[in-house]
A and B are shown apart, each in its own frame.
Chain A
C-alpha cells in the first residue's frame, strides 16, 4: 500500500515539473497537456505552423504557435471584430471549462474543433486562460525587468530608440515566445484598430492581457499598471516589430527550432511603392491605414480597397500555393477585383460561420474607420518602412494535421537593416 502511494506521489512530483524533451523526440514529456505547462514544452506537441514570407528574398519562413492560440485567434478574427467588450466580458464558465479540456488533450488538442455551440466570449476567455496559465508568461520572467525598463528610460529618449530596444529584447526571448508574442500583438492590434465597435482600445486590451504576457508572481496593482503601459506600447507599435527569420523553406518539424537563429535579411527597398503582395497580407484594419498615405482620390479608393481586403482569401490562396512569392501574386492583385467577386469567393465558408459576412460590415467598417479618424497614425508612414509583421486571419474552418498554416507576412518595404545598421550592436 505504501509502495503504491509512494509511487503515485513520485509520479505526481515528476510529472508536475515540465521537462525538456531530448531533441528529436516528439512524444509529450508529461501527460501531454498544454495548460500550466511551459510553452517551450507544450509547443513541441501542440503546435500549429504559421508561415510568413519575406518578399524580398521570396523565402517562406515558418514558425509555430500553440494550437489553441491559432484556433482561438482565427475564430476571434473571423467573428469577434465587432463584438463589444471582446476579451473583457466573460463566457460561460462551464463551456470555457469544456474548451479548456478539449484543447488540453492529445493528440488533436482541439485542432478539429468547429466551435459549434460555443460563443465568441468562450473562445476569448479560453485563450486568456491559457496565457494566464503559462508558468513562464509570454514575455518570460527572465526578461520581465528588461521590458519594463524601456519606457521612461532616458537611455531610450524617443520612440525609435524604444522600438529598437524592444526588438532587441524580443530577439532574446526563446523562439516559441517570440512567435507567440508577435502573433498576439498582431491580433491585439487588429482588435484595437476596431475599437470603434469593440470598445476595447489598446489600453483596455493591454489591461486584460498583461497577466498572461508581462507579469510575475504576486504583482501589486501599481506594478501591474506599468506592465500594462508596456503592453499597450507594444500593441500600438506592433507594426514596427519584425518576425524572426526562420531559415527553412519546407514545413518544419518542431525540432527545427535550434537552427533558426537570425532575422530575415530584408533588402532595403524603400523606393518602391507598397505592393499588392504586401497589402494582401495586411489585415483589414491596416488596409485603410495603408491607403490613407497618398492624398489623391482618397475616399472611393479606400472604400474599395477596404472591401476587397478580405485577407483570408489571399491566405487561403497562399497556403495552397505554399510559396507566396510577390511575383506570383502581383498580376492578379494589382487590379483590385470587383467587390462582388470577392464576396462570392467567401462562399466556401460554412454557412454557420458567416454572421458578419457581406456588404454591411465592409461598408460599416470603412465608414467607421473614416469617421473615427483612427485610420492612420501618420507616424508609421513617416518612419520609413520599418519592418512589419502581419498575420492574416485564417478562414479555414478547421485545421487538419497537414495544413495548419496561417500566413504571417513580413512586408517588403520593411527593412531590418535600416532599423539596425551594421555597426550598431545588438541591443
Chain B
C-alpha cells in the first residue's frame, strides 16, 4: 500500500486539527492516554454528529488513516502542525519530508489567508520547485455570518498559485473534508506515479 505524507499548515486557530479530526473520526490515532480519550470523544462525535469544541493549540500530532481513492488503498500519514509562529526551525524539516500540503485559512479572518503566502513561499523554497501538490482550504464555511474572505478571493489566490484546487470546508459539519484529502492524494499520484516495486526489484537482481 502506498503511503502519502501530508502536512497541514496554517495560522493559529483556523481549524487545522479540527479538519484532520473530522477526517479522522473513524480511525484510531497514535496511542497515548490523552489521545485515546480524544478518540472516544471523536467516535461519539461521529455517531451523534456533534462537533466537540476543544481549544488547545496543537504542538504537533501525526495521524494515520487508510482511505480508498479511485479504487486504490492508500495510507495517509497526516502531520498536524502548530499554527502559532513557534516552530519555524522545525518547519523546514517537515516541509522537506512532506509530499503534499494542505494550506488552511479561516474564512472568518483575512489575516489567516495572508499568512499562507509566506508558508507557500517557504514550501517552494524547501522543495526547490514551483509545482508542489497543494490544496488551499478555507475552513469554517459554516460560519457564514462571520465571513470575511469571499469565495472569490479564495479562488483568486488558488489561481495565482497556478490553478491549485480550492475548497471551502467545514470541519464542524464535515463539509468537503474528505474531498480535500482525496484531491491531494490524486495530485501526488499524478505528479509522482507509483513505481512498480516488483519490476524494480527485478532490475536490481540483474545488476
Residues of A within 8 A of B (CB): 85, 87-94, 121, 125, 128-129, 132, 199-200, 203-204, 207-208, 210-212, 217-218, 221, 224-225, 228
B86 touches A93 (CB 8 A): no
Residue ID in chain B nearest A88 by CB atoms? B12
- Residues on A with C-beta less than 8 A from B83 are 88, 90
Q: Does B109 contact A (CB under 8 A)?
A: yes
Known: A88-B13, A199-B55. A93 touches B60 (CB 8 A): no
What separation, in Å, do the CA atoms of A93 and B115 have in the docked complex? Answer: 6
What separation, in Å, do the CA atoms of A255 and B147 have in the docked complex? Answer: 53
Most buried by A among B13, B57, B88: B57
B57 touches A207 (CB 8 A): yes
B138 shortest CB reach to chain A, Å: 16
B12 touches A85 (CB 8 A): yes
Most buried by B among A203, A211, A217: A211
Q: Does B56 contact A (CB under 8 A)?
A: yes
- Residues on B with C-beta less than 8 A from A129 are 85
Residue ID in chain A nearest B88 by CB atoms? A132
Residue ID in chain B nearest A119 by CB atoms? B111
Known: A132-B85, A217-B89. A94 touches B114 (CB 8 A): yes
Q: Does B11 contact A (CB under 8 A)?
A: yes
List 11 A-B pairs, Cβ < 8 Å. A85-B12, A88-B13, A88-B57, A89-B13, A89-B109, A90-B11, A90-B115, A93-B118, A125-B85, A199-B55, A218-B90
A117 shortest CB reach to chain B, Å: 14
Known: A85-B12, A89-B11. A218 touches B114 (CB 8 A): no
- Residues on B with C-beta less than 8 A from A210 are 86
What separation, in Å, do the CA atoms of A87 and B12 have in the docked complex? Answer: 9
B4 shortest CB reach to chain A, Å: 21
A204 touches B86 (CB 8 A): no
B57 touches A204 (CB 8 A): yes
Q: Does B45 contact A (CB under 8 A)?
A: no
**A-contact bits for B53-83, CB 8 A (1 contact / 0 none):** 0011101100000000000000000000001
B155 shortest CB reach to chain A, Å: 21
B59 touches A207 (CB 8 A): yes
Tell me the interface secondary structure of chain B in the complex. loop
Q: Which 3 A-B pairs have the closest CB atoms?
A: A90-B11, A211-B86, A221-B60
- Residues on B with C-beta less than 8 A from A93 are 111, 114-115, 117-118
A90 touches B89 (CB 8 A): no
Given contact pairs A87-B84, A218-B90, a sample of 17 additional A-B residue pairs in the complex whose CB atoms are under 8 Å apart: A85-B12, A85-B13, A89-B11, A90-B12, A90-B111, A90-B112, A93-B117, A93-B118, A128-B86, A199-B55, A200-B55, A210-B86, A211-B86, A211-B87, A221-B60, A224-B59, A224-B60
A218 touches B89 (CB 8 A): yes
Known: A203-B56, A204-B55. A92 touches B111 (CB 8 A): yes
What separation, in Å, do the CA atoms of A200 and B13 have in the docked complex? Answer: 12
What separation, in Å, do the CA atoms of A203 and B115 have in the docked complex? Answer: 25
B12 touches A92 (CB 8 A): no
- Residues on A with C-beta less than 8 A from B88 are 132
Cβ 8 A contact of A91, one of B87, B90, B111, B118: B111
What separation, in Å, do the CA atoms of A169 and B170 have in the docked complex? Answer: 47
- Residues on B with C-beta less than 8 A from A91 are 111
What separation, in Å, do the CA atoms of A90 and B11 have in the docked complex? Answer: 6
Cβ 8 A contact of A128, one of B11, B85, B89: B85
- Residues on B with C-beta less than 8 A from A224 are 59-60
What separation, in Å, do the CA atoms of A88 and B55 have in the docked complex? Answer: 10
- Residues on B with C-beta less than 8 A from A92 are 111, 114
- Residues on B with C-beta less than 8 A from A87 are 84
B77 shortest CB reach to chain A, Å: 15
Most buried by B among A92, A93, A224: A93
Cβ 8 A contact of B12, one of A89, A218, A228: A89
- Residues on A with C-beta less than 8 A from B87 are 211
B13 shortest CB reach to chain A, Å: 5
Most buried by B among A88, A90, A92: A90
A343 shortest CB reach to chain B, Å: 32
- Residues on A with C-beta less than 8 A from B112 are 90
Residue ID in chain B nearest A122 by CB atoms? B111
**A-contact bits for B168-202, CB 8 A (1 contact / 0 none):** 00000000000000000000000000000000000
Residue ID in chain B nearest A132 by CB atoms? B86
- Residues on B with C-beta less than 8 A from A90 are 11-13, 83-85, 111-112, 115
A225 touches B59 (CB 8 A): yes
- Residues on A with C-beta less than 8 A from B59 are 207, 221, 224-225, 228
B152 shortest CB reach to chain A, Å: 21
- Residues on A with C-beta less than 8 A from B84 are 87-88, 90, 128, 208
